[in-house]
Every structure is written in structure tokens, then in C-alpha cells.
Amino acid sequence: MVFKKRALKKLVKDKYKADAHPQHESPKNEVPPEDVLSTELDQNVQYIRQTFGNSSDLSFSDFELGHKKAVLVYLNGLVDKMIISHFFENISRPEFLIEHSEFLTEKVEASDFMKQFFAPANKVNEIQLYKEVVTAILAGNAVLLVDSISHALVINTKGWRDRDVSESATENVVRGPKEAFTENIQTNTALVRRKIKDPRLWLEKKEIGNITQTSVSVMYIHSIANDKIVKEVHERLDKIDIDGILESNYIEEFIQDEVYTPFPTVFNTERPDVVAAALLEGRIAIFIDGTPFVLLVPALFTHFFQAAEDYYQRWDISTLLRLLRVTAYFISLLGPSAYIAVINFHQEMLPTPLLISLAAQREGVPFPALIEALIMEVTLEILREAGLRLPKAIGQTVSIVGALVIGQAAVEAGIISAAMVIVVSITAISNFILPAYNMGIAVRILRFLFMFLAGSFGLYGIAAGIFALALHLCSLRSFGIPYMEPLAPYIASDMKDTLWRKPRWKLVTRPRLINQTNIVRENVTPKNK
């Protein structure tokens, strides 16, 4: 019976696919993309027109090449117009036909012919397949087709405009490099190579996306990165079967180890110095064309508390800042829930003057502490999202004025107590200290869960939630590496650069579970030690 149901479902599914995507008869003159180019120019042009659906941005520049017809095909907006103009200037010279008459009779290779008169700085390749012609045009190249010749020339004419390298908008530092990645994958990989000038820095490219054909590159340092992790990264990327990749999160959701968790197991950054430092530790970087954010794996829990500036300041300052972030993390996670638990269940923990003050403030409030906190937290999240979506000119003004006006009006109206406004404000500010935005989102989600536990069971509910959270964190993996390493499992040698940072000359070894082939990264000791 089960097999009959499965067969019926498969039959219905196949019928739906057939109805949704009917098979049209191919035009008589359409040529399969695996075939070679024809010697008839009109047939080649017709195939290209049909493939691109007569798109308005597809240009066919017709001209006479001796006594033969020729066409230069390219997509407007993807090519450099100066290179195209230079091409036509060359072929319009009177002495052109005399100098290159051999090409018109196919006595010389087409690539040799082009190299003689075209700009030496432009790479020229010879192709013979229809699918190669389509790929070359989509990549921003121009393709030269000549009548009675069964091959084409691909001319490097890429010339679309890219955003200039500028300062990072999400990872600002007081001291350190100011450059950030752009949407061009070649620019991004070049920024990292400027910092790591070593031939062992390997870059492996692949295309992902059945329609978008997005360029994705995997970068790592050979003999430092773990070969097993590198192999695992390639296997997960090769399994992705999707129509398009438009941003790095498309890749992140496919390659992450755990789906049902608020905690990120893949790190992302738009700073080249952060990527270079991660590569030197043995991590692997994944570049995606079209986005300035680069993915780093494996990503550990402590990794999200480390900022780039930690390594550009003295070790004692960096340690203080990291401990401050950890403290702010717990305040952001447990601040409202601790207040709810104490007010509702554990009033005896408060000093008498403070208890009297809080009781006086809550005397006219009609809601219990849990509902009061939920109102404030939801309002804060609305204001936060409104500040992000509104235009920059008014976004900050609306969010700041909205928070002040709503908070003050709510207290004066007796809907919210002043103490609750203070607690929620400190919680929101503490959340902004975290360097990783996605880790801050995880805290915002869990905060509501702890608020419900505190409103139901008090501090006992918070304790139970912390135990469950610790067990969940210890069960996570990032490409096979324990998420809480080196805290759990505890590795004493790796604790030197986790929640605190030891002096630079003591950072002798790389993380052991991430890197198992080349542990030692320095052998330098200051003279005064």
C-alpha cells in the first residue's frame, strides 16, 4: 500500500512538472549548444538571437572584413566601449586588408591574426562551440564571427563599473586598515593576496547557480589548512543545486552544519585583514561574486567575540575589551529576564530601599512585569527595524526621537515603569557591543525565551534555560569542529586567544582542532623575556 501511494505521488508530481514546463518544439534552424559553429554566418547569428530571446541589450555590429561579412556580438553594459571603438578603428585602416589578407582565406590561425592588429593588452581566444560563444558573451566579452569560417574569436572587452574600495560600513576600527571588500570577486581576492604574498595561498574557482552561474572561489593556505576540511568545503559546495546565488547567505544556508539553531556556524566579514588573519590560522575563505561579504569556516563561538582591532591594540587593552563584550553579552541575554524574575518571585533579594522604590514605580502600572517587558522589547525591535529601512537622512532621527518620546510618554502615562525603561535600554545598548551582527540577532531571539522562563519559574527557569543553552552549544559543530572549542572540549593551549588575548609573542601555535598539519606559526621571543 505504501509503495502504491509513493508511485501515485510520483506520477502526480511528474504530471505537474510536465504541465508547468511544456516541451516546445525547437525551431528548425536552432542548433544544439553542444555542436560546433557553422560556416554560415547567418545561422550562427540566428542561434545567438534565439538563445538570448532577441534581448534589446544584445548588439550585433555588422561590417565588411575584406569580401566577407563579419559580426561583432556583445552585451551593452558589460563591455568597455573604448575597446570596441579601438577594434573598429583598427579594422577600418586602409592597409588592414593588405596586411591580413591571409586570414580571409584561412591560411593562418584566427588567434594569430587577431594578435597582429588588436591591442596587445587584450586577451584573444579561439572557440568553436555554440555554448562557448554564449558563455563568453555573458561574461562581458565580445565575440567576432566571420562568414565561411567555422570558429570565432573571443576578445576581452569586460568593462562594467565596480564600486571603489572604501571603508567598511559594518566593521569600523579606530586603528587598523580601512579598506573593505567590494562586489567584484577579483578585487576581493586581490585585496587578500596583497596581504599574503605566498604561493601557498591557493584559490579554487567554481560556478554555482543553474541560471546565474555565480563565480565562487575557495581560498586557503596549502600546508596550513586542514585538508579534510578543505575537501568537506568542496563537497558541500558541489552539492548545491539552485537556480541562482545572489548573496553569501545563499551559500551559508547550504553549507552550515546545523539548521535549527539561532547561532551562526559560518562567519562572515567584509574586511580583508580579517580574512588574511583567519587564513593564517588555518581557516578557509569562500568568496562569492556580487557581494562584499566573505564566508569563513570553521567558525567557533569565541570567534564572534573577537574584533579586528583586538590585534591592533596592546594585549591588555584587547583583553579588557573582550571581557567587556562577554559581560555585555550576558546583560543583553539575561537583563530583562533577571528583572522579571526578581520582581515577581525573589523580592527578598533586593535591598529594602530599592524594593520600596521599585514598588512605588509599579504602583500605577496595570500590566505584570512580563507583559511590560514584552511591550518594551517589541517596541524597541520595531524602532530598530524602522531605523534600518528608513532613508539615512531621517532614519537615525526617527529611531532616536521615537525611542525618547515613546519611553517618556509611556512612563508618564503609567503604562511602563521607569525601571523597566532603564533595563530595556541597557539591554539594547549591550547588544550593539557585539562585533558580529548575526550573533546579536541570536541573542535577541533567545532573550524572549528567557523572559518567558523568568515570568513562569523565576530564577529557576533562567537556570534551566542556561543549562539547556549550554548543552545546545556543546552539541553544535562547524565543519566537524566543536562549536565551543577550546572551552568544550577544553584545550588549555588554545585558551591564549579566546575570551582574552595573551601578548603577541605568546601566540605561538594555531588552534589545534582547526589546524593539525602546521601548528607552530612563530618562534620569536622578546629580548626582555
For residue range 369-384, what is the model confidence (pLDDT) as tens digits? Answer: 899 889 888 888 888 8
pLDDT given for residue 401 in this prediction: 65
pLDDT given for residue 230 in this prediction: 93
SS3 345: coil
SS3 519: coil
pLDDT given for residue 39 in this prediction: 83
pLDDT given for residue 419 in this prediction: 87
pLDDT given for residue 362 in this prediction: 80
List of the chain residues with pLDDT < 70: 1-34, 65-67, 91-124, 392-404, 515-516, 522-529
Which phi and psi (to 5°) does residue 338 adopt? -65, -40
SS3 63: strand
For residue range 156-204, what is the model confidence (pLDDT) as tens digits? Answer: 888 777 788 888 888 888 888 889 999 889 899 999 999 999 899 999 9
DSSP code at position 495:
T
pLDDT given for residue 34 in this prediction: 54
Contacts of 160 (CB under 8 A, 6+ apart): 77, 78, 140
Instruction: Name the E strands within 373-517.
Output: 477-478, 481-482
Contacts of 436 (CB under 8 A, 6+ apart): 264, 267, 304, 305
Q: How far apart are CA 229 and CA 54, in angstroms?
A: 45
pLDDT given for residue 524 in this prediction: 61
Q: What is the dihedral of CA 238, 241, 247, 253, to 10 degrees?
A: -80
Q: How far apart are CA 86 and CA 82, in angstroms?
A: 6
The number of residues making up the chain comes to 529
Residues 321, 324, 325: CA angle, nearest 5 degrees: 90
SS3 346: coil
